[in-house]
Structure 1
Amino acid sequence: MEAFLVSTLAVAVGEIGDKTQLLALLLAARYRKPIPIVLGILVATLANHSLAGLFGQWVVSYFSPDILRWLLGASFIAIAMWTLKPDEMDDAGIKEGQLGVFLLTCVTFFFAEIGDKTQLATVALAAKYSNLSLVIAGTTLGMLIADVPAVFLGKVASPNFPFHYVRWFAAFVFAVLGLLVLLNVGSF
Protein backbone atom coordinates (compact mmCIF):
# COMPACT_ATOMS: atom_id res chain seq x y z
CA MET A 1 0.00 0.00 0.00
CA GLU A 2 2.97 2.30 0.63
CA ALA A 3 3.97 1.99 -3.04
CA PHE A 4 0.50 3.14 -4.10
CA LEU A 5 0.32 6.08 -1.69
CA VAL A 6 3.86 7.36 -2.33
CA SER A 7 3.39 6.99 -6.10
CA THR A 8 0.09 8.85 -6.01
CA LEU A 9 1.46 11.71 -3.90
CA ALA A 10 4.72 12.04 -5.83
CA VAL A 11 3.05 12.26 -9.23
CA ALA A 12 0.06 14.36 -8.10
CA VAL A 13 2.27 17.10 -6.70
CA GLY A 14 4.90 16.68 -9.41
CA GLU A 15 2.31 17.14 -12.15
CA ILE A 16 1.05 20.52 -10.91
CA GLY A 17 2.23 23.13 -13.40
CA ASP A 18 3.82 20.44 -15.59
CA LYS A 19 3.62 20.61 -19.38
CA THR A 20 1.08 17.77 -19.51
CA GLN A 21 -1.17 19.61 -17.08
CA LEU A 22 -0.83 22.67 -19.27
CA LEU A 23 -1.67 20.44 -22.24
CA ALA A 24 -4.84 19.34 -20.41
CA LEU A 25 -5.80 23.00 -19.90
CA LEU A 26 -5.10 23.74 -23.55
CA LEU A 27 -7.14 20.81 -24.87
CA ALA A 28 -10.03 21.61 -22.53
CA ALA A 29 -10.08 25.26 -23.54
CA ARG A 30 -9.88 24.46 -27.24
CA TYR A 31 -12.29 21.51 -27.57
CA ARG A 32 -14.55 21.82 -24.51
CA LYS A 33 -15.08 18.04 -24.44
CA PRO A 34 -13.92 17.00 -20.97
CA ILE A 35 -14.92 13.31 -21.00
CA PRO A 36 -12.90 12.25 -24.08
CA ILE A 37 -9.97 14.35 -22.83
CA VAL A 38 -10.02 12.71 -19.37
CA LEU A 39 -10.31 9.24 -20.93
CA GLY A 40 -7.45 10.06 -23.29
CA ILE A 41 -5.29 11.15 -20.36
CA LEU A 42 -6.13 7.91 -18.54
CA VAL A 43 -5.25 5.65 -21.49
CA ALA A 44 -2.07 7.57 -22.37
CA THR A 45 -0.89 7.60 -18.75
CA LEU A 46 -1.54 3.89 -18.26
CA ALA A 47 0.43 3.08 -21.42
CA ASN A 48 3.29 5.49 -20.73
CA HIS A 49 3.66 4.70 -17.03
CA SER A 50 3.40 0.94 -17.66
CA LEU A 51 6.40 1.17 -19.99
CA ALA A 52 8.23 3.41 -17.51
CA GLY A 53 7.44 0.99 -14.67
CA LEU A 54 8.68 -2.00 -16.64
CA PHE A 55 11.90 -0.11 -17.35
CA GLY A 56 12.25 0.70 -13.64
CA GLN A 57 11.81 -2.96 -12.71
CA TRP A 58 14.39 -3.94 -15.34
CA VAL A 59 16.90 -1.46 -13.89
CA VAL A 60 16.67 -3.17 -10.50
CA SER A 61 18.05 -6.40 -11.94
CA TYR A 62 21.24 -4.70 -13.16
CA PHE A 63 22.40 -2.71 -10.15
CA SER A 64 23.41 -3.69 -6.63
CA PRO A 65 21.12 -2.45 -3.84
CA ASP A 66 23.68 0.18 -2.72
CA ILE A 67 24.22 1.61 -6.21
CA LEU A 68 20.48 1.51 -6.84
CA ARG A 69 19.83 3.40 -3.59
CA TRP A 70 22.24 6.17 -4.64
CA LEU A 71 20.79 6.30 -8.17
CA LEU A 72 17.23 6.51 -6.82
CA GLY A 73 18.09 9.14 -4.21
CA ALA A 74 19.92 11.25 -6.77
CA SER A 75 17.02 10.81 -9.23
CA PHE A 76 14.47 12.10 -6.73
CA ILE A 77 16.67 15.09 -5.85
CA ALA A 78 17.19 15.85 -9.56
CA ILE A 79 13.42 15.68 -10.09
CA ALA A 80 13.01 18.07 -7.13
CA MET A 81 15.28 20.61 -8.80
CA TRP A 82 13.57 20.09 -12.18
CA THR A 83 10.18 20.68 -10.55
CA LEU A 84 11.21 24.25 -9.69
CA LYS A 85 11.51 25.13 -13.38
CA PRO A 86 8.08 26.07 -14.79
CA ASP A 87 7.02 24.21 -17.89
CA GLU A 88 5.66 26.07 -20.87
CA MET A 89 3.31 24.77 -23.52
CA ASP A 90 1.98 26.53 -26.54
CA ASP A 91 -0.86 25.31 -28.68
CA ALA A 92 0.96 25.46 -32.02
CA GLY A 93 0.45 22.33 -34.05
CA ILE A 94 -2.26 20.69 -31.94
CA LYS A 95 -5.13 20.00 -34.27
CA GLU A 96 -8.04 17.63 -33.83
CA GLY A 97 -8.23 16.67 -37.50
CA GLN A 98 -9.74 13.26 -38.10
CA LEU A 99 -8.34 11.76 -34.91
CA GLY A 100 -11.08 13.01 -32.64
CA VAL A 101 -10.48 14.55 -29.24
CA PHE A 102 -9.98 11.21 -27.43
CA LEU A 103 -7.32 9.89 -29.79
CA LEU A 104 -5.69 13.32 -30.09
CA THR A 105 -5.41 13.44 -26.29
CA CYS A 106 -4.02 9.88 -26.12
CA VAL A 107 -1.33 10.56 -28.68
CA THR A 108 -0.30 14.02 -27.47
CA PHE A 109 -0.25 12.99 -23.79
CA PHE A 110 1.71 9.81 -24.45
CA PHE A 111 4.42 11.68 -26.34
CA ALA A 112 4.41 14.73 -24.05
CA GLU A 113 5.00 12.41 -21.09
CA ILE A 114 8.12 10.80 -22.62
CA GLY A 115 11.12 12.00 -20.63
CA ASP A 116 8.89 14.08 -18.38
CA LYS A 117 9.60 14.30 -14.66
CA THR A 118 6.49 12.25 -13.78
CA GLN A 119 7.60 9.50 -16.17
CA LEU A 120 11.07 9.52 -14.62
CA ALA A 121 9.48 9.46 -11.17
CA THR A 122 7.53 6.38 -12.29
CA VAL A 123 10.78 4.69 -13.35
CA ALA A 124 12.33 5.49 -9.96
CA LEU A 125 9.27 4.37 -8.01
CA ALA A 126 9.08 1.09 -9.95
CA ALA A 127 12.74 0.52 -9.18
CA LYS A 128 12.08 1.24 -5.51
CA TYR A 129 8.94 -0.83 -5.01
CA SER A 130 8.50 -4.43 -6.14
CA ASN A 131 4.74 -4.16 -6.70
CA LEU A 132 4.59 -2.71 -10.20
CA SER A 133 0.77 -2.73 -10.31
CA LEU A 134 0.52 -0.51 -7.23
CA VAL A 135 3.14 1.89 -8.59
CA ILE A 136 1.37 2.22 -11.96
CA ALA A 137 -2.03 2.55 -10.29
CA GLY A 138 -0.62 5.23 -7.95
CA THR A 139 1.17 7.23 -10.63
CA THR A 140 -1.89 7.07 -12.88
CA LEU A 141 -4.17 8.22 -10.06
CA GLY A 142 -1.70 11.01 -9.23
CA MET A 143 -1.77 12.15 -12.86
CA LEU A 144 -5.57 12.16 -12.85
CA ILE A 145 -5.75 14.00 -9.53
CA ALA A 146 -3.67 16.81 -11.04
CA ASP A 147 -5.03 16.82 -14.60
CA VAL A 148 -8.77 16.15 -14.29
CA PRO A 149 -9.46 19.41 -12.42
CA ALA A 150 -7.44 21.22 -15.10
CA VAL A 151 -9.67 19.71 -17.77
CA PHE A 152 -12.88 20.76 -16.04
CA LEU A 153 -11.67 24.20 -15.02
CA GLY A 154 -10.01 24.98 -18.35
CA LYS A 155 -8.63 28.49 -18.72
CA VAL A 156 -10.95 29.92 -16.07
CA ALA A 157 -8.80 29.01 -13.09
CA SER A 158 -5.36 28.66 -14.67
CA PRO A 159 -4.34 32.35 -14.67
CA ASN A 160 -5.07 32.66 -10.94
CA PHE A 161 -3.68 29.32 -9.74
CA PRO A 162 -0.55 29.69 -7.56
CA PHE A 163 1.61 27.24 -9.55
CA HIS A 164 4.82 28.57 -8.04
CA TYR A 165 3.79 27.56 -4.49
CA VAL A 166 2.78 24.12 -5.66
CA ARG A 167 6.06 23.70 -7.56
CA TRP A 168 7.97 24.50 -4.36
CA PHE A 169 5.87 21.99 -2.41
CA ALA A 170 6.40 19.33 -5.10
CA ALA A 171 10.15 20.02 -5.10
CA PHE A 172 10.14 19.63 -1.32
CA VAL A 173 8.32 16.26 -1.55
CA PHE A 174 10.76 14.91 -4.16
CA ALA A 175 13.76 16.20 -2.17
CA VAL A 176 12.50 14.51 1.01
CA LEU A 177 11.96 11.25 -0.89
CA GLY A 178 15.50 11.53 -2.27
CA LEU A 179 17.02 12.18 1.14
CA LEU A 180 15.07 9.32 2.71
CA VAL A 181 16.38 6.97 0.03
CA LEU A 182 19.97 8.24 0.34
CA LEU A 183 19.91 8.01 4.13
CA ASN A 184 18.23 4.59 3.96
CA VAL A 185 15.55 5.74 6.42
CA GLY A 186 12.60 3.45 7.17
CA SER A 187 11.50 1.34 4.24
CA PHE A 188 13.29 3.71 1.88
Structure 2
Amino acid sequence: MEAFLMSTGIVALAEMGDKTQLLSLVLAARYRKPVPIILGIFVATLLNHAVAGALGSWLMHWFGPSVMRWVLGVSFLGMAVWILIPDKLDDTDAAPKGGIFLTTVVAFFLAEMGDKTQFATVALAAQYSSLWAVVMGTTAGMMLANAPAVLLGDRITRAVPMRTVHIVAAILFAILGLLALFDVGSLTTG
Protein backbone atom coordinates (compact mmCIF):
# COMPACT_ATOMS: atom_id res chain seq x y z
CA MET A 1 0.00 0.00 0.00
CA GLU A 2 2.92 2.34 0.74
CA ALA A 3 4.25 1.95 -2.81
CA PHE A 4 0.85 2.80 -4.28
CA LEU A 5 0.23 5.83 -2.05
CA MET A 6 3.74 7.22 -2.40
CA SER A 7 3.66 6.76 -6.18
CA THR A 8 0.25 8.41 -6.42
CA GLY A 9 1.26 11.42 -4.34
CA ILE A 10 4.63 12.00 -5.96
CA VAL A 11 3.33 11.79 -9.52
CA ALA A 12 0.20 13.87 -8.81
CA LEU A 13 2.40 16.65 -7.44
CA ALA A 14 5.02 16.32 -10.19
CA GLU A 15 2.33 16.47 -12.88
CA MET A 16 0.94 19.83 -11.76
CA GLY A 17 1.86 22.34 -14.46
CA ASP A 18 3.68 19.64 -16.46
CA LYS A 19 3.57 19.61 -20.27
CA THR A 20 1.26 16.59 -20.27
CA GLN A 21 -1.16 18.46 -18.03
CA LEU A 22 -0.97 21.35 -20.48
CA LEU A 23 -1.62 18.84 -23.27
CA SER A 24 -4.71 17.68 -21.36
CA LEU A 25 -5.96 21.28 -21.31
CA VAL A 26 -5.27 21.68 -25.05
CA LEU A 27 -7.09 18.46 -25.93
CA ALA A 28 -10.04 19.44 -23.73
CA ALA A 29 -10.27 22.87 -25.32
CA ARG A 30 -9.89 21.48 -28.84
CA TYR A 31 -12.32 18.56 -28.68
CA ARG A 32 -14.65 19.40 -25.75
CA LYS A 33 -15.35 15.68 -25.19
CA PRO A 34 -13.93 14.80 -21.78
CA VAL A 35 -14.72 11.05 -21.66
CA PRO A 36 -12.60 9.89 -24.64
CA ILE A 37 -9.82 12.28 -23.59
CA ILE A 38 -9.74 10.99 -20.00
CA LEU A 39 -9.85 7.37 -21.21
CA GLY A 40 -7.05 8.10 -23.68
CA ILE A 41 -4.92 9.66 -20.92
CA PHE A 42 -5.54 6.60 -18.74
CA VAL A 43 -4.54 4.10 -21.45
CA ALA A 44 -1.47 6.10 -22.53
CA THR A 45 -0.30 6.56 -18.94
CA LEU A 46 -0.84 2.92 -18.03
CA LEU A 47 1.17 1.76 -21.05
CA ASN A 48 3.92 4.34 -20.62
CA HIS A 49 4.32 3.80 -16.89
CA ALA A 50 4.22 0.00 -17.21
CA VAL A 51 7.25 0.24 -19.50
CA ALA A 52 8.96 2.76 -17.19
CA GLY A 53 8.18 0.64 -14.13
CA ALA A 54 9.53 -2.50 -15.79
CA LEU A 55 12.74 -0.59 -16.56
CA GLY A 56 13.05 0.48 -12.92
CA SER A 57 12.55 -3.09 -11.70
CA TRP A 58 15.09 -4.37 -14.23
CA LEU A 59 17.64 -1.77 -13.11
CA MET A 60 17.20 -2.81 -9.47
CA HIS A 61 17.63 -6.48 -10.40
CA TRP A 62 20.83 -5.93 -12.37
CA PHE A 63 22.54 -3.29 -10.28
CA GLY A 64 21.34 -4.23 -6.80
CA PRO A 65 20.34 -2.09 -3.84
CA SER A 66 23.75 -0.60 -3.03
CA VAL A 67 24.28 0.95 -6.48
CA MET A 68 20.60 1.83 -6.92
CA ARG A 69 20.56 3.66 -3.58
CA TRP A 70 23.00 6.19 -5.03
CA VAL A 71 21.29 6.29 -8.42
CA LEU A 72 17.90 6.85 -6.77
CA GLY A 73 19.22 9.46 -4.36
CA VAL A 74 20.83 11.49 -7.12
CA SER A 75 17.79 10.96 -9.39
CA PHE A 76 15.36 12.21 -6.75
CA LEU A 77 17.57 15.24 -6.05
CA GLY A 78 17.69 15.91 -9.80
CA MET A 79 13.89 15.64 -9.89
CA ALA A 80 13.69 18.21 -7.09
CA VAL A 81 15.57 20.69 -9.27
CA TRP A 82 13.81 19.70 -12.53
CA ILE A 83 10.35 20.15 -11.04
CA LEU A 84 11.14 23.79 -10.29
CA ILE A 85 11.60 24.46 -14.02
CA PRO A 86 8.15 25.22 -15.46
CA ASP A 87 7.02 23.25 -18.49
CA LYS A 88 5.42 24.70 -21.56
CA LEU A 89 3.70 22.92 -24.39
CA ASP A 90 5.61 23.38 -27.62
CA ASP A 91 4.48 22.73 -31.18
CA THR A 92 6.04 19.26 -31.30
CA ASP A 93 3.52 18.11 -28.69
CA ALA A 94 0.49 18.87 -30.88
CA ALA A 95 -1.87 15.94 -31.21
CA PRO A 96 -1.95 14.04 -34.54
CA LYS A 97 -5.12 13.67 -36.59
CA GLY A 98 -7.50 10.83 -35.81
CA GLY A 99 -10.31 9.99 -33.44
CA ILE A 100 -10.36 11.78 -30.09
CA PHE A 101 -9.47 8.67 -28.07
CA LEU A 102 -6.67 7.53 -30.39
CA THR A 103 -5.37 11.09 -30.77
CA THR A 104 -5.20 11.41 -27.00
CA VAL A 105 -3.49 8.03 -26.50
CA VAL A 106 -0.81 8.75 -29.11
CA ALA A 107 -0.22 12.40 -28.15
CA PHE A 108 -0.17 11.73 -24.42
CA PHE A 109 2.05 8.63 -24.70
CA LEU A 110 4.59 10.52 -26.82
CA ALA A 111 4.48 13.64 -24.63
CA GLU A 112 5.14 11.49 -21.55
CA MET A 113 8.31 9.99 -23.06
CA GLY A 114 11.29 11.36 -21.17
CA ASP A 115 9.03 13.39 -18.92
CA LYS A 116 9.75 13.89 -15.23
CA THR A 117 6.79 11.71 -14.21
CA GLN A 118 8.13 8.89 -16.38
CA PHE A 119 11.54 9.20 -14.71
CA ALA A 120 9.80 9.26 -11.33
CA THR A 121 8.06 6.01 -12.28
CA VAL A 122 11.39 4.38 -13.14
CA ALA A 123 12.85 5.51 -9.81
CA LEU A 124 9.81 4.43 -7.78
CA ALA A 125 9.75 1.00 -9.44
CA ALA A 126 13.41 0.60 -8.56
CA GLN A 127 12.66 1.59 -4.97
CA TYR A 128 9.62 -0.58 -4.31
CA SER A 129 9.32 -4.30 -4.91
CA SER A 130 5.69 -4.13 -6.08
CA LEU A 131 5.78 -3.09 -9.75
CA TRP A 132 1.99 -3.33 -9.95
CA ALA A 133 1.51 -0.96 -6.97
CA VAL A 134 3.94 1.58 -8.44
CA VAL A 135 2.41 1.54 -11.95
CA MET A 136 -1.13 1.76 -10.58
CA GLY A 137 -0.05 4.51 -8.18
CA THR A 138 1.72 6.60 -10.81
CA THR A 139 -1.23 6.12 -13.15
CA ALA A 140 -3.62 7.21 -10.38
CA GLY A 141 -1.43 10.27 -9.74
CA MET A 142 -1.54 11.19 -13.42
CA MET A 143 -5.33 10.81 -13.43
CA LEU A 144 -5.68 12.92 -10.27
CA ALA A 145 -3.78 15.73 -11.97
CA ASN A 146 -5.13 15.41 -15.51
CA ALA A 147 -8.79 14.40 -15.24
CA PRO A 148 -9.71 17.62 -13.40
CA ALA A 149 -7.67 19.57 -15.98
CA VAL A 150 -9.80 18.04 -18.72
CA LEU A 151 -13.08 18.51 -16.84
CA LEU A 152 -12.51 21.98 -15.44
CA GLY A 153 -10.01 23.42 -17.87
CA ASP A 154 -8.17 26.59 -17.15
CA ARG A 155 -10.26 27.37 -14.04
CA ILE A 156 -7.99 24.93 -12.18
CA THR A 157 -4.75 26.45 -13.40
CA ARG A 158 -5.92 29.86 -12.21
CA ALA A 159 -7.05 28.55 -8.79
CA VAL A 160 -4.04 26.40 -7.88
CA PRO A 161 -0.78 28.28 -7.26
CA MET A 162 1.51 26.21 -9.49
CA ARG A 163 4.69 27.69 -8.04
CA THR A 164 3.66 26.52 -4.56
CA VAL A 165 2.81 23.04 -5.84
CA HIS A 166 6.18 22.85 -7.61
CA ILE A 167 8.03 23.92 -4.45
CA VAL A 168 6.21 21.34 -2.30
CA ALA A 169 6.92 18.62 -4.88
CA ALA A 170 10.59 19.68 -5.10
CA ILE A 171 10.92 19.49 -1.31
CA LEU A 172 9.33 16.02 -1.32
CA PHE A 173 11.73 14.80 -4.03
CA ALA A 174 14.70 16.32 -2.18
CA ILE A 175 13.69 14.56 1.04
CA LEU A 176 13.30 11.25 -0.80
CA GLY A 177 16.70 11.75 -2.44
CA LEU A 178 18.39 12.43 0.88
CA LEU A 179 16.65 9.47 2.52
CA ALA A 180 17.91 7.22 -0.29
CA LEU A 181 21.46 8.60 -0.12
CA PHE A 182 21.62 8.16 3.64
CA ASP A 183 20.02 4.69 3.35
CA VAL A 184 17.03 5.51 5.55
CA GLY A 185 14.55 2.69 5.02
CA SER A 186 14.90 -0.17 2.59
CA LEU A 187 14.94 0.19 -1.19
CA THR A 188 12.95 -2.99 -1.50
CA THR A 189 9.94 -2.03 0.59
CA GLY A 190 6.63 -2.42 -0.90
Contact 1:29/1:155 (8 A) holds in 2: no
Whole-angstrom distance in 2 between the partners of 1:118 and 1:27: 19
Deviations 1:70-122 (Å, cap 9, x if unpaired)?
0001101101100000000146773563x111111100010000000000000
The question of whether the paired residues in 2 share the 8 Å contact of 1:26 and 1:91 is answered with no
**Aligned residue in 1 for 2:47:** 47
Q: Is the 8 A contact 2:95 2:106 kept in 1?
A: no
- RMSD of Structure 2 on Structure 1 (CA): 1.5
1:37-66 per-position Cα deviation (integer Å, ceiling 9, x unaligned): 100000000000000011111111221321
Query: Which residue of structure 1 lines up, in the alignment, with residue 56 of structure 2?
Result: 56
Residue deviations 1:101-150, cap 9 Å, x none? Answer: 11111000100000000000000011111110000000000000011110
Counterpart contact for 1:8–1:140, Cα < 8 Å: yes
Q: Aligned partners of 1:95 and 1:78: how far apart in 2?
A: 29
Moved over 2 A (4+): 90-97, 155-161
- The CA deviation at 1:159 is 3.9
Structure 1 pair 30–185 and aligned structure 2 pair: CA distance change class (3 A): same
Cα pair distance change 1:177/1:93, threshold 3 Å: closer
Quote the Cα distance in structure 2 between the aligned partners of 1:184 and 1:9: 21
The TM-score with structure 2 as length reference comes to 0.93
The residue matched to 2:123 in structure 1 has which SS? helix
Alpha-carbon shift at residue 155 of structure 1 (Å): 2.6
Aligned length: 187
Gaps of 5+ in 1: none
